[in-house]
Structure 1
Amino acid sequence: MTTPRLVFNPVSQDYFDNPYEIYRRMRDEAPLYYDEEEDFYALTRHADVAAAFKDHEAFSSARGCDLGMVRSGEVPQKSIIFMDPPDHRHMRSLLNKAFTPRAIQSQRETVVELVRHYLAEADPDHFDVVQDFSGPFPVEVITRMAGVPEDFRQQVRHWIDTSLHRKPGQIDMDDENMQATIDSGMYYYGLVQERRKNPQDDMISRLIAAEIPGEDGSLRKLDDIEITGFTTLLGGAGAETVTKLVGSAVVEFARHPEQWQKLLEDRSKIPDAVEELLRYVGPVQYNVRYSLKDVELPSGTVPAHKPVFLMGAAANRDPRAFDDGETFDIDRDRTQAQNLGLGYGIHSCLGAALARMETAIALEHLLDFMPRFEVDFDGLARVSMQNVAGYHHVPVTVLR
């Protein structure tokens, strides 16, 4: 029996259904994968992906972070993920102030309150982990920090889901994606203007008051478009990551009940479980960069002026970097290689510590809510999204 030809299509149904089998073949057969038809490269081995993430001088973010954007050459809206240094450095240092360890810890009570609220409302006999729990609570946390009024917090999540959704075969944004992006941007733009008139104790108001170095070195204020770009990004990243990670966590623990039992017996293992989930089923599958010059990597040369997929989710299961990389084990040795689940290098996730805290608190409360549970595997529904993997339905029965 002949092996089917290796094809990586980031918007195919096969890829949406099971990216990990495709990643395994790419790592083994074509670690420096080139797609002639679409004219892009893809990196899947840990050594290559980590090196590319660190080399921002060769792999630029300024053209966007998905294939459609990078290939079009149209510079997207002003946002930190679409910047190279020095602009990126100035913005990062400003936004880091919103995610200091103290700022993250100040959100703990909010997270606990929201997690308890949504679990208290859940029906143990008909519990959809994503729809009833991991979908609603993370977006409440991040949008409350930003300054979004309560009435609009869940709407933000629906805009994000719609803007990232991709039909099989669809690389570029369609009208629905574009409309959700426009609606979200217009909403945040209006909110920024409102906060200029009436500042409050929130992230938008602090960004309005902040100053960064301009092109001539003198300090300048951020404009409304820049602040809109940041708040839109933070709302999306802050909601999507934890939503998908917690949903995938429940599926993996159902597949590996002995790992769930370890947590039931020793809750001090929860932080390790979060790290393993980020490695094994991290929501962010890849970031696309643009090569500014020919780049030598361990697996070969990436030529200049090409879109390049940095496949962090593939690298995170690379057996060359992690012993038994395809095995889910919350007790694994974490010192073997860098976990790329929340990025690496200058564009690593701004809210990584917040995402880890939210996921840990969610797991802790799920251990109480459903110490024994069954997932309806036939009812699982995967998302089909640009660069994000996970589920939008994870139906569970809590066992008495």
Structure 2
Amino acid sequence: MTSTELVFDPFSEEFFNGPWEIYRRMRAEAPVYYNAEYDFYALSRHEDVAAAYKDFETFSSAYGLDLATVRSDEPMPAKMIIMMDPPEHRQMRSLVNKVFTPRAIEALRPMATETIDRYLSAVDPGGFDVVGDFSALFPVQVITQMLGVPEEYRKQVGEWVDTSLAREPGQIEMSEEGMQAVGELMGLYYNIIQQRRAEPRDDMFSRLIAAEVTREDGDTESLDDFEIAGFATLLGGAGAETVTKLIGNATVTFARHPEQWQKLLDDRSKIPAAVEELLRYEAPNQYNVRRSMRDVEIHGVTIPEGKPVFLLAGSANRDPDAFTDADTFDIDRDRTEAQNLGFGYGVHSCLGAALARMESAIALERLLDFMPRYEVRWDGCRRVAAQNVAGWSHVPVRVLA
């Protein structure tokens, strides 16, 4: 019996619908995979992905976030922290760490809880779409409130983010509508920044305006408008999308593993562990793209300088050499076995991870109260087709008595 050709296409229907079998074959057959059609490499084993995340000198972030930008020879002009390498990244990261302190995140808990409660109380108690009616709505409200976006624009921000990330099967470049959405979003943030410079408030925009960063030459400066807008765009996109997809994934995963849902019903203290396992089992962010800055040999394969390299965190988190029974969903698993790469690793580990964890834990707690027994209406479930994001756009459920 001859096996089919191994094809990893991150723009295909097959990838959007769940790449777990492809990942398994890549780890076994081609841990350094080359895609000739799109001219990129991909790392799929946990050991290799984790090492590449930490080796920013070899695998650079400065050329962008996706294949379309990374394969360009020009570093990205956008001043987003996610598109920087040290030392510039280190300076910006230290600034953001001052703004994203554990105390600052914890101070957002009442607002996040109120927002989650407000959206869940508005759904049909008999049945609703967990994503469309709930998890697609509250995260962008939380993140935009934190930033200081006026209420009348918050929903629009979420729509712009979705438009910018959307990809049809086979589509690599951002669509014209996506580019227009990014422009509209940056324009909104620019206007808010001007308002906050004139009249500061108790919000993230005002704190970023007031913050100072020590540049590479030792000079201390404030952030410019473009840098602040870049921060806001990154937070608004990554912050909203991660929680939206994690809660949708949770609803589907627990429906397939009802004994795990029962564990949470019996013991709410397991909720944080459940969030970690959801991030491992089906992370909303399946990969990041880097650019090779030198020729590098891994497993006998040479990745030439200047090539896009996909770091498949979604595959690494299912690597049986890193995790016992890696394809088993188990909220009680041993967390010390290996690094969970669901929020990245190394210098670019997710800025908003603590906020996303907090929101996800609150939302899970509320769903346990609201629908201790539920069933997914599988015929209405729809997968999302988006840049590097895995999850569901629609998960309708029926709440059982």
TM-score range, shorter chain: over 0.9
| Contact 1:54-1:346 at 8 Å conserved across structures | yes
1:73 aligns with 2:78: no
State the partner residue of 2:310.
Answer: 309
1:92 aligns with 2:93: yes
TM-score if structure 1 supplies the norm length?
0.98
- State how far apart, in whole Å, the 1-side matches of 2:354 and 2:298 are: 30
1:200-220 deviation line (CA, Å, top 9, x unaligned): 111111111122123432111
- Structure-to-structure mapping, 1:115-264, within 5 angstroms: 115-264=116-265
Give the C-alpha shift of residue 344 in structure 1: 0.2
State the partner residue of 2:32.
Answer: 32
| Contact 1:51-1:297 at 8 Å conserved across structures | no
1:353-388 deviation line (CA, Å, top 9, x unaligned): 111111111111100000000001111111100111
1:63 aligns with 2:63: yes
1:314-347 deviation line (CA, Å, top 9, x unaligned): 1000011001101111111111100000000000
Identity rate, percent: 66
- State how far apart, in whole Å, the 1-side matches of 2:107 and 2:399 are: 32
Alignment-mate amino acid for residue 83 of structure 2: F
Specify every segment of 5 or more residues in structure 1 that has no aligned partner in the other structure, as ranges.
none
State the partner residue of 1:356.
Answer: 357
State the partner residue of 2:279.
Answer: 278
- State how far apart, in whole Å, the 2-side matches of 1:3 and 1:185 are: 48
- State how far apart, in whole Å, the 2-side matches of 1:100 and 1:296 are: 39
| Contact 1:31-1:299 at 8 Å conserved across structures | no
TM-score if structure 2 supplies the norm length?
0.97
Give the C-alpha shift of residue 112 in structure 1: 1.3
- State how far apart, in whole Å, the 2-side matches of 1:297 and 1:196 are: 49
- State how far apart, in whole Å, the 2-side matches of 1:8 and 1:206 are: 43
Give the C-alpha shift of residue 76 in structure 1: 4.3
Residue 168 of structure 1 aligns to a residue whose secondary structure is coil
- State how far apart, in whole Å, the 2-side matches of 1:117 and 1:106 are: 18
State the partner residue of 2:396.
Answer: 395
- State how far apart, in whole Å, the 1-side matches of 2:77 and 2:252 are: 35
Alignment-mate amino acid for residue 110 of structure 1: M
Structure 1 vs Structure 2 CA RMSD: 1.2
Give the C-alpha shift of residue 79 in structure 1: 0.3
Please identify runs of 4+ aligned residues in structure 1 that moved more than 6 A. Answer: none
Give the C-alpha shift of residue 124 in structure 1: 2.3
State the partner residue of 1:386.
Answer: 387
State the partner residue of 1:347.
Answer: 348
Give the C-alpha shift of residue 114 in structure 1: 1.2
Residue 71 of structure 2 aligns to a residue whose secondary structure is helix
Give the C-alpha shift of residue 2 in structure 1: 3.0
Give the C-alpha shift of residue 186 in structure 1: 1.0
Aligned length: 400
| Contact 2:32-2:299 at 8 Å conserved across structures | no
- State how far apart, in whole Å, the 2-side matches of 1:380 and 1:3 are: 31
Alignment-mate amino acid for residue 315 of structure 2: A
Give the C-alpha shift of residue 72 in structure 1: 2.0
Specify every segment of 5 or more residues in structure 2 that has no aligned partner in the other structure, as ranges.
none
Deviates more, 1:208-217 or 1:252-261: 208-217
Residue 220 of structure 1 aligns to a residue whose secondary structure is strand
Residue 261 of structure 1 aligns to a residue whose secondary structure is helix
- State how far apart, in whole Å, the 2-side matches of 1:148 and 1:14 are: 37
- State how far apart, in whole Å, the 1-side matches of 2:127 and 2:365 are: 20
Give the C-alpha shift of residue 393 in structure 1: 0.5
Residue 289 of structure 2 aligns to a residue whose secondary structure is strand
1:266 aligns with 2:267: yes
| Contact 1:33-1:41 at 8 Å conserved across structures | yes
Alignment-mate amino acid for residue 136 of structure 1: L
- State how far apart, in whole Å, the 2-side matches of 1:378 and 1:103 are: 42
